[in-house]
Structure 1
């Protein structure tokens, strides 16, 4: 569509801005994509977030490892801690941080919204936006 083969990156950014497309580089440490059977784990990936007319798209570039679902190191420990929190009726801190960041509110407001929505992330974010 654009054919930006040899286009100046600065010019490309200017064109995207004119079309209402915002591009941000995220300083990601790790990205994990889980499927029913496998986990794709990207360590130190380059992550780009693009917002075009309210639709957010993420691009992940980098080397990755494929693991059997549920067999991962640190991610599994975090999941176990979160599961223990949920079983005790607690809202996991990771969920609070996600809602706070996505809705642009304090962690206290995010936690209250999550509690009101019985831990439903999407509903809590919708409530706050």
Structure 2
């Protein structure tokens, strides 16, 4: 389109003026990451070059760069908090080991989701 494939600064200014006259405006965005979610995959662009073109109120976004594609089935599944039911046997063991009341042992076990060793360490301090 342009001789030698390059545009000198004067031609660039003329082009920008013509675009303004036609109601077109262009801007580069400083994007860090762009994610596009499709039906079967997710495309993630790290450090993309993003340009927005405004033509009479309609904005068009152009994204260039390399994308990493992941399938929808590979999405992370959110962790759900699970409450562990503390047994009487565990309460007695922690209470005996730490020389504390059963109520204190039960509270410590609930705080650490039933982890005996962690409850003993917690009460030992």
How many residues were matched structurally? 73
Which secondary structure does the structure 1 equivalent of 2:74 belong to? Answer: coil
2: CA distance, partners of 1:24 / 1:34: 24
1:112 aligns with none
2: CA distance, partners of 1:12 / 1:63: 28
Pair 1:11-2:19 in alignment: no
2:28 aligns with 25
Which runs of no fewer than 5 residues in structure 2 stay unpaired? 79-125
1:63 aligns with 66
TM-score (normalised: structure 1): 0.49
Runs of 4 or more consecutive aligned structure 1 residues displaced over 4 Å after TM superposition: none
TM-score (normalised: structure 2): 0.50
Which secondary structure does the structure 2 equivalent of 1:36 belong to? Answer: coil
Q: Deviations over 1:24-78 (max 9, x none)?
A: 1111110011111011110010000111011110000111111112635xxx68x
Larger radius of gyration: 2
1:115 aligns with none
Q: CA RMSD in A?
A: 2.2
Which runs of no fewer than 5 residues in structure 1 stay unpaired? 81-129
1: CA distance, partners of 2:47 / 2:20: 27
